[in-house]
Amino acid sequence: MKLLEVNNLTMAFGGLKAVNNISFHMEEGEIISLIGPNGAGKTTFFNMLTGIYIPTEGSIVFNGKNITGTAPEKIIKEGIARTFQNIRLFPHMTVLENVLVGMHSRSHNGLFHSLFRTKKFYQEEKRNAYKAKELLATVNLADKCNEYAKNLAYGQQRRLEIVRALAAQPKLLLLDEPAAGMNPQETEALMKYIRGLKDKGATILLIEHDMKLVMKISDRIYVLDHGVKIAEGLSKDIQNNQDVIEAYLGKGA
Amino acid sequence: MKKVFVFSLLMMVVLSVLLAGCSTETAAAPDATEEITIAVAAPLSGDYAQYGNAFRRATELKAEEINAAGGILGKELKLTFLDDRNDAREATNVAQRLVGDKKVLGVIGHFSSTASLAASSVYEEGGLVQLSPTTSHPDFTKQGQYMFRNINTQAVEAPIAADMVVNLMDKKRIAVIYINNDWGITARDHFVEAAEALGGEIVAEETFIGGQTQDFTSTLTSIHSKNPDIIFLGTFYAETGMIAQQMKQLGYDYPLAGLSSLYNEELIKLAGDAVEGLYMTSNFFPGDERPAAKEFVDKFRDAHGQVPNQFAAVAYESLGMLAGAIETAGEDRAAIRNELAKIADYEGVTGSITFSKDRDVIKEMSIIKIQNGEFVIAQ
Amino acid sequence: METTVEHVNKKKKIIKRRSMIYVGVLAGLLIIPLLSLNNFTMRMVIMAGTYMILAMSLNLITGYTGQLSLGHAAFYAIGAYTSAILSMRFGWSFLITAPAAALMAALVALLLGIPTLKLQGAYLAIVTLGFSEIVRIVALNWMGLTRGPMGIPGIARPEVLGYRIASNTQYYYLILALVIITYMSLYRIINSRLGRAFIAIREDDLAAQSMGVDILKYKILSFTIAAFFAGLAGSFYAHYVTYIDPQSFTFNESIQVLSMVVLGGMGSMPGAIIGSVILTWAPEMLRFLEDYRMIMYGAILIVMMPIRPQGILGGIRFKLDKEEENQHEAVGSE
Amino acid sequence: MFFQQIINGITLGSIYALTAVGYTMVFGILELVNFSHGSVYMFGAFLCLTLMTALGLGFFPAFIISIVITGMLGIVIDRLALLPLRRKNAPKVASLISTIGISIFLQNLVMVMWGSETKNFPLALNLGHIQFNSFRISYLQMIILLTSLILMMGLTLLVKKTKIGKAMRATAQNMEAAKLMGINVNLIITFTFFLGAALATVAGVMVGMYYQSVDPMMGFMAGLKAFAAAVLGGIGVLPGAILGGLIIGVSETLAAGYIHSGYRDAIAFAILIAVLLIKPTGLLGQKVQKKV
């Protein structure tokens, strides 16, 4: 069944159409990559999916429900979680707390339970802390629990951000350039990690510039340029697509 | 362990600050010192510092006189000045400090009702005389047995002003501008009541927040549309300067009248001919020919190069009365209170002073006006 | 990996040490009046306690949630007036007027917060400032309710369970209880899902939103909780000084509390406490300077900030906070 | 009466506008809620008065000297109090507290130096007025409005057309990037403070002259109103400061004239809040696009 279906999505800022009439769909369990040169509208597309921008036109149907224009804090409850291109962790919170904030939408302790430290409060806190630590262990951050996020190394911060998004138990994970700034070894590890997620049944939409990574793990690829979808298909089709080569290297290449 | 250390350090800081606080004050019982201490508590910084400074200059002058004449009970009078910034909270701190300092035998202060009323419960509990030269709030002396004031409440002054406006000046249609504080409101209430009883008609009542409002044009324009005969001012000199100036700029020409609060040489400098012909009631007037007043004005002028205003005058005589009470009662706070309450016909610079059984005063008032850029007696 | 036995032992040790610290601090605080401090010192301690409540609560908005409020005095005033009016008109006791005052302040904050907390930075700052001016001006003019500038004198001294509070020692224990209640409540809120949401908003509101934090809702919640405690402080103040008027709740009061929070360290509860102690005492300690007192006060603020811009205790995280989390883990992994 | 009230409102508004132009200037570049502006404004007025009365200077020389001296005071304030904070990347609120410290310091310094009484400020530009049927306008009122408009245009030109103006805008947009582009950010900020303080003096002197009085607390409310006007118009938008000042002035005047004089400031603030609820970034402020 289709997990995500996007129809004729358009986002205009003033006269400029950052995303123009894009249709798009995803099946459960797929890894799909969104590629294209800088300024192609990829991140804008993510921002519409996560409710940060309200599309000028078009609709987003997720899991059979129209979520166009839903606020970001509700989108995550629907099951879409994301990371950011320029890492946006909570720098003065510990690693563990960052992950716990990721669980916000899946936990319930309110004022009453917090204030009176009820049994329910402790149960949830313990459960969450346990789960968070399990998740952190999957990216080798278990021993950094009480470090401030700002004190982590760059690659660790990237991993923490992914874990924070996973903590919300999303049906669809959006990763915005997760390999940016990583060295080849780190990229390799990241690739394995993403594959591991897929094996556990995760559905992932990826924006990435690292073509090697994209080609190796994507089930399908969408290519954007100047807000328009110029190609879609399997990895090898895209590699040989004339339009894509032109978009990346300029005409006449 | 480090954090535990930080935490204990924190507690130590708190405790040492507390202990340092104790040492700033001598909690010792009164010993046979050669000094008699009286405190003056008033705003010496902040918006109202000018009034506190008037207190300070006048009481310093009086203390010099007393010491020159041999002091109190043969000991030297020492004044201690405490700044309350005209802030209720700080006034209570000051009061508590003074109550705890057994050397202090009485307090001259505070300046305004905010400070005086907030501090009064502390003075009352500590059994220390609080003689405020200026607090006119009707509830002030009801706070306890140790509260005294040396100024007419508006229950006394405003009807005199109403009589001045309606009968002496013969103006019937009256617009009132009053400052939105306890003094201004009481003044307005008593003035309006008395003026209406005398056959006057109040055509407008306008207010403003002291120290905050500088622009009176809209108020004056509204008043102008009511076509009054006179504008009566329940205000202080600083605003009055602006009101008069702006009235002139707007091209309105109404006679002005006000209360003793307007008396300040600076008013004429501020407003020039815009206040020419202004009538006001007066507690104290430097042109007063009585010897007590004349002597005070001369001495004050010599010491500070300026003419004293009424705030200085009432502070000056307050200290005189308190010193007199100590002379008779000795160094006992309760006895001083009882002696002070008995004071009758004290010859002060504002006239003869007698405390009523509620520790209020009733003073004679004169009417003065501004003529050729000078304050002169009108009646 | 540690064994289960080690875990349990570690946990016990942590709990033991923690309770020892708490007991020690509490004992220290309880015996302060027995040091036979004079009334003036006691008054200053009590005043510092009142400001601790104000500063800790403002810290929740400004320090933890990252929203600049310049109008904390408004809620302080609302609390004081609610308490004074209920006590004068209906003769209600402190045990009723204090919660009523706190709830009233919280209610007003809620109503103000719903439309305004979507504003950011300086825009929010001016709105809170403007609101506190409005509150003061209404208090000045609404004679029928507040007696305007005449103020409310003779507010009844508190009676707690038939026990009349009158001396400074008794007031000390009352304010101590209130400070502890405030500290405990705020501590629990901050170290919970709510607190993490607040801090996340401060750290990065967009990321917080993307993680499911309803920013507006949590800002309103933070604002309302803070107002609740400011109202409580106001109620205590009214029943302690026994006279209130609008002059006591000016903009300067908001600024004073904000200075305490920033000086002590934003986002640090002990910081807010230290800040209140220092700035309550500073004007009294500087009295010997006479006329130059307030000049020095200003200079101290100017000099202190660059020395520790994050505040005295800002950025220092007490182990106590973290231990609680570790403890969850330990239990969770058993 | 209505026309007169509108004139009254515009005059009061232009006083606010004059103060707000300088305020919004510093505000726009540093995003700093600056509580020292009001006290610098007061200091400038006292300085000018002293130069006139104690040294017997004429109005214009005194005016210009006090602008320069107070401008330098602005530099001192920045270098001593705020630059150390920028060096340490301190939070904005820390700078806010520093400006509060400066304002307490200056107010009390002036009080110790010149006393706390309200002092007469001579009406050096007594130019009379024009009388219409039912209302009148004085030339001084027009000069105040004109001055604020001229300052606004001058500053706009400065910011848009000159090299230093471009550097100022770059600094406002992104301090780090400006640094990388080789702009001496601290110099630019210090210059902004010089300008801000000089503008505050212009306002302080003009207002002192208009009311013919100065006192040490005069800057407090003026500073708050300038802050309000600057925010209402949109932070850092120069024409916005004028518009904001005029709106606050007129609404305050009409509130005092037709509703209740005791509630004038409350009504002005209520209008401010209401406008911000509709336009959360001020009347002329740009809607900020979320950066992701």
Q: Where are the domains of chain C?
A: 42-329
Phi, psi at C147, each rounded to 5°: 60, 15
In the Cβ-directed half-sphere of A246, how many Cα atoms lie within 13 Å?
9
Mean pLDDT score across all residues of chain B: 88
Closest partner residue to C247 (CB to CB) among B88, B97, B142 is B88
Which option is the CATH number for C42-329: 1.20.1740, 3.90.400, 1.10.3470, 3.40.50? Answer: 1.10.3470
pLDDT of residue D182: 87
Q: Which helix (H) or strand (E) holds A72?
A: helix A72-78
Q: Tell me: pLDDT of C39 over 90.
A: no
Residues in chain A: 253
Long-range contacts (CB closer than 8 Å, 24 or more residues apart) made by D224-227: D224/C129, D224/C251, D224/D38, D225/D16, D225/D19, D225/D20, D226/D16, D226/D19, D226/D20, D226/D22, D226/D23, D226/D37, D226/D38, D227/C126, D227/C129, D227/D20, D227/D23, D227/D33, D227/D34, D227/D37
CATH for D252: 1.10.3470
Q: Is residue D249 part of a domain?
A: yes
The mean per-residue pLDDT over the stretch B267-282 comes to 91
pLDDT of residue B363: 87
- DSSP for A151-208 reads GS-HHHHHHHHHHHHHTT--SEEEEESTTTT--HHHHHHHHHHHHHHHHTT-EEEEE-
The mean per-residue pLDDT over the stretch A69-83 comes to 93
Phi, psi at D120, each rounded to 5°: -75, 135
For residue C70, what pLDDT band results from cuts at 50, 70 and 90?
very high
Q: Are A79 and A63 in contact (CB under 8 A)?
A: yes
pLDDT of residue B24: 45
Q: Tell me: pLDDT of C332 over 50.
A: no
Q: How far apart are CA D261 and CA D276, in angstroms?
A: 24
Note which residues in 215-254 of chain C have CB less than 8 A from chain A. 215, 221, 225
Interface test with A, best of C186, C328, C334 (most A CBs within 10 A): C328
Q: How far apart are CA B150 and CA B161, in angstroms?
A: 19
Contacts of B271 in chain D (CB under 8 A): 212
- DSSP for C95-150 reads HHHHHHHHHHHHHHHHHHHHHHTT--HHHHHHHHHHHHHHHHHHHHH-HHHH-GGG
Closest Cα in chain C, distance from residue B356 (Å):
22
ipTM: 0.89
Of C230 and D27, more confident:
C230
For residue B22, what pLDDT band results from cuts at 50, 70 and 90?
very low
Q: Is residue D292 part of a domain?
A: no
Q: Tell me: pLDDT of C325 over 60.
A: no
pLDDT in tens, D106-141: 999 999 888 888 889 988 777 788 888 777 888 888
- CB atoms closer than 10 angstroms to residue A220: 17
Q: Tell me: pLDDT of C324 over 80.
A: no
Computed over its alpha carbons, how large is the radius of gyration of chain D?
19
Q: How far apart are CA B359 and CA B350, in angstroms?
A: 17
Q: Are C155 and C84 in contact (CB under 8 A)?
A: yes
Mean pLDDT score across all residues of chain D: 89
For residue D289, what pLDDT band results from cuts at 50, 70 and 90?
low
Domain B31-151+290-364, second-level architecture: 3-Layer(aba) Sandwich (3.40)
Contacts of C284 in chain B (CB under 8 A): 21, 24, 93, 97
For residue A47, what pLDDT band results from cuts at 50, 70 and 90?
very high
Interface test with C, best of A88, A103, A107 (most C CBs within 10 A): A88
- CB atoms closer than 10 angstroms to residue C89: 9
Q: How far apart are CA B360 and CA B371, in angstroms?
A: 33
Q: Which helix (H) or strand (E) holds A245?
A: helix A242-249
CB contact (8 A) between residue B21 and residue C313:
no
pLDDT of residue A139: 92
Cα distances from C312 to residues C62, C274, D89, D96, in angstroms, run 16, 8, 16, 16
Q: Are C325 and A146 in contact (CB under 8 A)?
A: yes
Q: Is residue D286 part of a domain?
A: no
Contacts of C293 in chain D (CB under 8 A): 108
What are the start and end residues of each CATH 3.40.50.2300 domain in chain B? 31-151+290-364, 155-282
Q: Tell me: pLDDT of C233 over 50.
A: yes
Place of tokens 């109190």: B72
| Backbone dihedral region for residue C102 (phi beyond 0: left; psi -120 to 50: alpha; all else: beta) | alpha
CB contact (8 A) between residue B221 and residue D265:
no
Q: Is residue D288 part of a domain?
A: no
CB contact (8 A) between residue C206 and residue D292:
yes
Contacts of C107 (CB under 8 A, 6+ apart): none
pLDDT in tens, C84-96: 999 999 999 999 9
The mean per-residue pLDDT over the stretch B313-321 comes to 95
The mean per-residue pLDDT over the stretch C143-158 comes to 92
Phi, psi at B198, each rounded to 5°: -85, 0
Amino acid, res. B215: D
Full domain range(s) for residue D269: 2-278
CB contact (8 A) between residue A52 and residue D290:
yes
For residue B28, what pLDDT band results from cuts at 50, 70 and 90?
very low
Contacts of D245 (CB under 8 A, 6+ apart): D13, D14, D15, D16, D17, D18, D19, D20, D148, D225, D226, D229, D233
Q: Tell me: pLDDT of C268 over 80.
A: yes
Q: Which fold has domain B155-282?
A: Rossmann fold (3.40.50)
Question: Which residue of chain B has the CA closest to C248?
Answer: B88
pLDDT of residue B4: 47
Q: How far apart are CA D83 and CA D74, in angstroms?
A: 12
Q: How far apart are CA B229 and CA B254, in angstroms?
A: 7
Q: How far apart are CA D197 and CA D102, in angstroms?
A: 13
Q: pTM for the complete prediction? A: 0.91
Tokens, residue C38 = 């004079």
Q: Are B265 and B289 in contact (CB under 8 A)?
A: no
Place of tokens 């009470």: B325
CB contact (8 A) between residue A81 and residue C267:
no
Q: Tell me: pLDDT of B77 over 80.
A: yes
Contacts of D290 in chain A (CB under 8 A): 52
Note which residues in 147-206 of chain B have CB less than 8 A from chain C. 180-182, 184-186
Note which residues in 271-290 of chain D have CB less than 8 A from chain A. 289-290
Q: How far apart are CA A221 and CA A234, in angstroms?
A: 6
Place of tokens 């002192």: D208
Tokens, residue A177 = 């350039």
Q: Are C150 and C93 in contact (CB under 8 A)?
A: no
Phi, psi at D214, each rounded to 5°: -135, 145
Task: Name the packing angle between helices D218-233 and C121-141 (round to 10°).
Answer: 130
CB contact (8 A) between residue B85 and residue C294:
yes
- Angle at A132 (CA atoms; ends A131, A133), nearest 5 degrees: 90
In order of their start, the domains of chain A are 1-79+170-253 (3.40.50.300), 91-169 (no CATH)
Number of compact structural domains in chain D: 1
CB contact (8 A) between residue D217 and residue B251:
no
Q: Is residue D285 part of a domain?
A: no
pLDDT of residue C327: 45
Q: How far apart are CA D155 and CA D166, in angstroms?
A: 12
